[in-house]
Every structure is written in C-alpha cells, then in structure tokens.
Structure 1
Amino acid sequence: MDLFHTLTELIDMRSFSNLWYWIALAVVWSSASHWILGVPFDMVYRSRKQGGQAMDDLEAIVRVNVNRMMYITEMSGHWVLGVSCFVLAMLGMLGFVYSVEFAQAVFLLAFPMAFVGLINWAAARRINRDGLEGEALARQLSLTRLFVQLVGMLAIFVTALWGMYQNLQIGFLG
C-alpha cells in the first residue's frame, strides 16, 4: 500500500469537515481573548477588584511584556512584518486561487490573528507611550480584549460560513 495514501486516510486534509480543526479554532480564539499582551485576563479582573499587590503584579507583568514587544519591534519588526505578509499571501494564493482546502483553513486561522497581533502591538505602544498605570492600564487591557473578541467573533463567523460552503460543495460534487 502507498505511504502517501495511508497518511492521507489517517490525516484528513479536508479541514472544514474535520472536528479537530473546529476544536483548534475554538482553542485559538479562546486563548487569544484570554491572554492580552501576554497577561491572563483574570489577572486584570483581580487587580481591578483587589488593587494593591494584585495591581502591582499586573503593572510589572505588563511592563515586562510591553518592553519585550517594543524591543522586538525595534530590532526585527520589518522582518516579522515581511515574513508574515509573505506567509499570508502564500496561504491566500494556495487556498483561494489554487483551491487547496488545508491552506484555506490555515489562512482563516492566521489572517485574523495578524489583526490580533496588530491590536496587541497598538495597545503596547500606547501603554509604553502614555506610561499607563493602575485603572487606566486595566481599562486599556479591557478595551484591547474587547477588540480581540470582536475580531474573533467575525473570524469565527466567516470561517463557519466558508466551512459550510466548502462542505456543501464537496458533498454535492463527491
């Protein structure tokens, strides 16, 4: 028996009909909305409620992550942007021009996450520029989370529509 045939039977490359793809989509967006600038959102909630040491911990972790993000942006931001655009363009072409369903599935995960990266970067820049602390910092992190959740809802909706369309197309053609 052919090895490629065995592997393609074992790993279904038709992503939109695969349960694991939808589980991965849920995990990606759940994680993206929980970890804002590398900080778990329950820490933001706790710091708002308790203040004191919890707020100091939040400020320290955010400061470390913001400084790290700003350093990466200064040192290799152009390279990261260029490689990201190349990979997204490649996935888009493979997926939607050459009809590779696996590339479509990865693109529909990666493209909205690029917007999440931009949202997080803009929030980090604002926190760094304005020196946000305390309640203003918690408010900025909450606003950033809201924008990430909006992008996530739109992305899940579009992915679900495209996945249903693909499954119906394959169902009628197969």
Structure 2
Amino acid sequence: MDWYSAVFELIDMRSFSNLWYWIALAVVWSTTSHWVLGVPWDMVQRAGRHGGEAERDLEDMVRINVNRLFYIAGVSGIWLVALASGLITALALLGFWYGIEFAQAVFLLVTPMSFVGLLSLRTANLIRAGALTGAELRKRMHRHRVQTQFVGMISVFITAMWGMYQNMSIGVLGG
C-alpha cells in the first residue's frame, strides 16, 4: 500500500463509515451541552455550590452572553436566518436528492445545531424578560442544557440510524 492510498483510506469521504465523522459528532454534541449559552456548565454548578462571588460571576457571564446574542440577532439576524436556511436547503438537496453522502453528513450535523441556536435565543429571551438571577437563573440554565441534550440525543440517534442504513446499503450494493 502506497502513501497516497493510506491517506485516502484514513480520510475517507464516505462520511458514515469514517471514524473521524463519529468523533466529530461526539465532540460537537459534548461541547454544545457543556457550553450553555456560552457559559461553561461547571461555572453553573460552582455557583450553585458556593454562591457569593461564583454566583455573581455566573450572572455577569450570562448577562454578557445574553446581550451578545441579542446584539447579533438584532444586527444580522435576518441575514443569518437567510444564510442558514439556504445552506441547510442546499445540503438537503445535495444530500438526499442527489445522494451525496458528505452533504447528508453535514446536514445531519448542522440542522440540529440550528434548533439549538433557536433554543438559545428563546432561553436568552426568558432570562432577560424575567431578569433571572440566583437559583432561578441556574434552573433556567439547567432546563436549557437538558433541552440541548435531548436535541443531541435525537440527532445522534437519527444520524446513527441513517449512517447504518447508508453503510448497509452501500455494502449490499458493493458501492
């Protein structure tokens, strides 16, 4: 086996049979559930355990990130929605209409993350509207994390089922 074959065997563009895709999927969802509205989850836990300065740090960090989310949504929200919708539509067409497996794989990564983005905006709105602090803020952050993990579980399940289907159908067809 020459070097060229070894590299292309390691970096296989058939996404669902590639270990790197599954590692990337795990990293994306692990990172997404750890960073709740841009705040590391251990910071939320530390604020609940210790209170005081840790609680103030959490509230400041959440306030900064909520304001940042609303600023981005206000300045470029419509453009981001249009761009994301176009990208997701293009990936869906390329992946499922034209059968390009790489586009299917990216679609199955990007689409659930758009739902997490919408959940984040909703949570940021609830935090701002309720002026949440202390235990109420931590409870809302916990709910958001659980919702994100639920989206992640469903996403990983659907991706795994589709990936197995793809691998089995290509294996049967000899693709």
With the length of structure 1 as denominator, give the TM-score of the two structures: 0.94
Find the counterpart in structure 1 of residue 84 from structure 2.
84
Q: Is 1:165 the equivalent of 2:174?
A: no
Percent identical: 55
Q: Deviations over 1:66-105 (max 9, x none)?
A: 0010011111110111100000000000000000000000
Find the counterpart in structure 2 of residue 37 from structure 1.
37
Matched letter for residue 34 of structure 1: H
Please report how far the alpha carbon of residue 130 of structure 1 lies from its aligned counterpart in structure 2 after TM superposition: 1.3
Find the counterpart in structure 1 of residue 130 from structure 2.
130
2:95–2:101: 8 Å Cα contact kept in structure 1? yes
Measured in 2, the distance between the counterparts of 1:8 and 1:149 equals 34
Find the counterpart in structure 1 of residue 94 from structure 2.
94
Matched letter for residue 57 of structure 1: D
Please report how far the alpha carbon of residue 33 of structure 1 lies from its aligned counterpart in structure 2 after TM superposition: 0.4
Q: Deviations over 1:136-174 (max 9, x none)?
A: 110000000000000000000000000000000110111
Aligned length: 171
Find the counterpart in structure 2 of residue 121 from structure 1.
121
Please report how far the alpha carbon of residue 129 of structure 1 lies from its aligned counterpart in structure 2 after TM superposition: 1.4
2:11–2:18: 8 Å Cα contact kept in structure 1? no
Is the partner of 1:103 in helix, strand or coil?
A: helix
Is the partner of 1:13 in helix, strand or coil?
A: coil
Please report how far the alpha carbon of residue 128 of structure 1 lies from its aligned counterpart in structure 2 after TM superposition: 1.2
Uncovered stretches (5+) of structure 2, i.e. residues with no partner: none
Find the counterpart in structure 2 of residue 14 from structure 1.
14
Matched letter for residue 36 of structure 1: V
Please report how far the alpha carbon of residue 11 of structure 1 lies from its aligned counterpart in structure 2 after TM superposition: 3.0
Q: CA RMSD in A?
A: 1.6
Find the counterpart in structure 2 of residue 149 from structure 1.
149
Matched letter for residue 23 of structure 2: I
2:91–2:106: 8 Å Cα contact kept in structure 1? yes
Measured in 2, the distance between the counterparts of 1:54 and 1:72 equals 27
Measured in 2, the distance between the counterparts of 1:28 and 1:148 equals 12
